[in-house]
Amino acid sequence: MLRVGRDRAINQGHLNDFDWVTGNAETLPLEDNSVDVYTIAFGLRNVTRIDDALKEAHRVLKPGGRFYCLEFSHVENPAFSALYDKFSFNLIPKMGEVIAKDRDSYQYLVESI
């Protein structure tokens, strides 16, 4: 998945002046205040100690740096819960099937929330 994202960035000319770094979100191999942008997508759910991962993100970000997190969570408002479940379990896997040709991965994503 990371390779695909990197390849797309290269093909679209967006690979200037940044490095692709992967690592354990709880113990990043980076210096303090060294990162302009930190992104994590559907990763916090897989972190053992979420607080430690968020502290690491804060530690490595430069002052004024940007933190972008894409994640799903449970809906606690009963009025929206049924609507959210219907959307999640029906539309998201279908979108995965149509867009990515991979319904199973998107079904897993919904079930792992």
Give the total number of structural domains in the chain: 2
Q: What angle do CA 44, 33, 68 make, to 5 degrees?
A: 35
Q: Is 42 left (phi over 0), alpha (psi -120 to 50) or beta?
A: left
Looking at the fold, whether 60 and 87 belong to one and the same domain comes out as no
pLDDT digits (tens, 9 = 90+) for 76-111: 888 888 888 888 888 889 988 999 899 898 888 888
**How far is it, in rounded angstroms, from Cα 80 to Cα 75?**
7
Residue 17 predicted with pLDDT over 70: no
Task: Name the token pair of 32.
Answer: 């303090």
Looking at the fold, whether 66 and 99 belong to one and the same domain comes out as no
- What local confidence, expressed as pLDDT, does residue 66 receive? 97
**How far is it, in rounded angstroms, from Cα 23 to Cα 25?**
6
Looking at the fold, whether 93 and 38 belong to one and the same domain comes out as no
Looking at the fold, whether 90 and 44 belong to one and the same domain comes out as no
Write out the residue range of the structural domain in which residue 64 sits.
2-70
Q: What is the CATH number of the domain that holds 47?
A: 3.40.50.150
Looking at the fold, whether 46 and 101 belong to one and the same domain comes out as no
Looking at the fold, whether 58 and 88 belong to one and the same domain comes out as no
Looking at the fold, whether 100 and 60 belong to one and the same domain comes out as no
Looking at the fold, whether 20 and 38 belong to one and the same domain comes out as yes
Q: Output the average pLDDT for the chain.
A: 88
